[in-house]
Amino acid sequence: MRILVVGAGATGGYFGGRLAAAGRDVTFLVRARRAEQLAASGLRIRSPHGDVNLASPKTVLAEGLAEPYDLVLLSCKAYDLDGAMASFAPAMGTDSMILPVLNGMRHLDALDARFGHARVLGGQCVIAATVDDDGTILHLNNVHGIAYGERDGGTSERVQRVDAALSGAGFDARLSEHIAQDMWEKWTFLAALAAGTCLMRASIGEIVAAPGGDATMRGLFDECAAIAGAHGHAPRAAFAEKALTMLSQPKSSLTASMLRDLERGGRIEADHIVGDLIARRGAGVPRSILELAYTHLKAYEARRSSGG
Distance of CA 22 to the CA centre of its chain: 23
Q: What angle do CA 52, 56, 61 make, to 5 degrees?
A: 115
Q: Are strands 137-149 and 52-54 parallel, antiparallel or unpaired?
A: unpaired
Domain range annotation of the chain: 2-177, 182-305
Q: Is 251 among the catalytic positions?
A: no
**pLDDT score of 64:** 96
> Average pLDDT in the 99-112 region?
97
Instruction: Provide CB contacts within 8 A for 203, sequence distance 6+.
Output: 197, 252, 253, 254, 255
> Average pLDDT in the 251-280 region?
95
* Eight-state DSSP code of residue 120: B
List 77, 186, 242, 298, catalytic entry: 186
Q: Which CATH number fits domain 2-177: 1.10.10.10, 3.30.2130.10, 3.40.50.720, 3.30.300.180?
A: 3.40.50.720
Mean pLDDT of the chain: 95
In this structure, which long-range contacts are made by residues 132-137, counting pairs with CB atoms below 8 Å and at least 24 apart in sequence? 134/41, 135/34, 135/37, 135/38, 135/41, 135/44, 136/44, 136/45, 136/46, 137/9, 137/10, 137/13, 137/14, 137/17, 137/43, 137/44, 137/45, 137/46
**pLDDT score of 284:** 73
Do 2-177 and 182-305 show the same overall fold? Answer: no
Model confidence at 285, in pLDDT bands (50, 70, 90)? confident
Decide: 243 and 236 in contact? Cβ < 8 Å: no
In this structure, which long-range contacts are made by residues 32-35, counting pairs with CB atoms below 8 Å and at least 24 apart in sequence? 32/61, 34/7, 34/8, 34/59, 34/135, 35/59, 35/61
Percent of the chain with pLDDT over 90: 94
* pTM for this predicted structure: 0.93
Model confidence at 282, in pLDDT bands (50, 70, 90)? confident
**pLDDT score of 206:** 98
Model confidence at 288, in pLDDT bands (50, 70, 90)? confident
Q: Which class does domain 182-305 fall in?
A: mainly alpha
In this structure, which long-range contacts are made by residues 34-39, counting pairs with CB atoms below 8 Å and at least 24 apart in sequence? 34/7, 34/8, 34/59, 34/135, 35/59, 35/61, 37/135, 38/8, 38/135
What 3-state class would DSSP assign to 307?
coil
